[in-house]
Amino acid sequence: MIVDKQTKGYQQQSHRPAENWLNDEEYFLVPDGTELADQIIEHYPYFDFVIEDGELVGITPTERPPDPPPPPTLEEIRAALEILTGGKDDELD
């Protein structure tokens, strides 16, 4: 797995589990299947890098934004349309 140092985005290639195939210094190399790789996948993009001597040694999870509210149900949409139209749309039934 490679992890972009700026965006925290990661890429994996099953045939290159522990190789920086881009040969780009802008990516950290994190071997697939490691605890660190699993943590990155679990918390992406809500984490900060823990870097020691220029190497990525861990992450610190950060707060996730709240989940969005669920979409309205069909019944709620129908009720809202009935209020807006005064109940004049017979095609709703």
Question: 3-state SS of the chain?
Answer: CEEECCCCCEECCCCCCCCCCCCCCCEEECCCCCHHHHHHHHHCCCEEEEEECCEEEEEEECCCCCCCCCCCCHHHHHHHHHHHHCCCCHHHC
pLDDT digits (tens, 9 = 90+) for 64-76: 999 999 999 999 9
pLDDT digits (tens, 9 = 90+) for 36-74: 999 999 999 999 999 999 999 999 999 999 999 999 999
Using pLDDT thresholds of 50, 70 and 90, give the confidence band for residue 93.
low
Domain residue ranges in the chain? 2-61
| pLDDT at position 6 | 95
Q: Is 89 a residue whose pLDDT tops 70?
A: no
